């Protein structure tokens, strides 16, 4: 029987619209945005508290940790300051992601192996207070094994490169994704995926072995300009079924 795939909706880019004017407006309201996504079928709300605060702010994390009626997934850099925020607000999940100030969006997966000792310590501190941890990684077997070694509950595969590739290169990347997913599952970790997933790519990613969860943001916020966020989320949820 095919796994039921959870839909996490990343609302970062709704906050981007607010911050474009320096955060001087009270709209869009992140609680209302989250509620619309949930009404459309979101089973998780995902936010990324970046070092440069280009979209989500600490006040958003504080608000959503109090009022969100589905699990809250906090994406964050592997920094001790971020661990302090996570321990203070206690989201349900923390996803460790790479982060560079100059990038427009996350360009690739986290190198867990090179930071294994530090990430292991961070993971332990979060899990001790009941927060589950995932690692946002490229579909690389070495990184899957490193994620297991640090005690990750799940890995989330960066699908952005696969989405953009064509032909033989796309097929090769798909094979990498499948092998990495199979290894993660065999090690007892959950298999998640995200980045660059629109309606068409999501139809294809549902075929990834053992996939349990996708986190989708940019495309849904864009679709919502025409469809509304509730309807766009509902359509994405239908594709996942």
Structure token pair of residue 112: 């867990």
Catalytic residue among 156, 192, 195, 213: 195
Q: Is 48 a catalytic residue?
A: yes
Catalytic residue among 13, 48, 55, 185: 48
- End-to-end, the C-alpha distance of the chain in Å comes to 12
Q: Active site includes 124? A: no
Determine contact, residues 162/173, Cβ cutoff 8 Å.
yes
- Helix or strand (DSSP H, E) at 238: helix 229-240
Active site (annotated) includes residue 173: no
Tell me which of 35, 75, 156, 173 is the catalytic residue. Answer: 75
Active site residues: 48, 75, 195
């Amino acid at each position: 029987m095919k796994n039921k795939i959870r839909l996490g909706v990343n609302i970062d880019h709704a906050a981007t619209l607010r911050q474009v004017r320096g955060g001087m407006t009270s709209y869009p309201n992140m609680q209302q945005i989250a509620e619309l996504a949930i009404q459309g079928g979101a089973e998780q709300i995902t936010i990324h508290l970046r070092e440069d605060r280009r979209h989500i702010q600490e006040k958003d994390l504080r608000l959503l940790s109090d009022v969100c009626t589905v699990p809250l997934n906090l994406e964050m850099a592997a920094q001790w300051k971020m661990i302090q925020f996570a321990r203070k607000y206690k989201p349900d999940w923390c996803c460790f992601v790479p982060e560079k100030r100059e990038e427009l969006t996350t360009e690739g997966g986290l190198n867990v192996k090179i930071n294994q000792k530090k990430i292991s310590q961070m993971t332990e501190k979060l899990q001790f207070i009941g927060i589950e941890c995932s690692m946002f990684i490229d579909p690389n077997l070495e990184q899957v094994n490193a994620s297991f070694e640090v005690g990750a509950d799940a890995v989330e595969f960066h699908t952005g490169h696969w989405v953009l590739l064509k032909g033989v290169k796309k097929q090769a990347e798909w094979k990498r994704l499948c092998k990495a997913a199979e290894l993660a599952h065999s090690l007892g970790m959950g298999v998640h995926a995200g980045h660059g997933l629109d309606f068409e790519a999501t139809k294809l990613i549902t075929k990834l072995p053992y996939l349990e969860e996708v986190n989708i943001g940019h495309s849904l916020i864009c679709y919502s300009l025409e469809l509304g966020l509730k309807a766009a989320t509902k359509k994405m949820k239908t594709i996942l079924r």
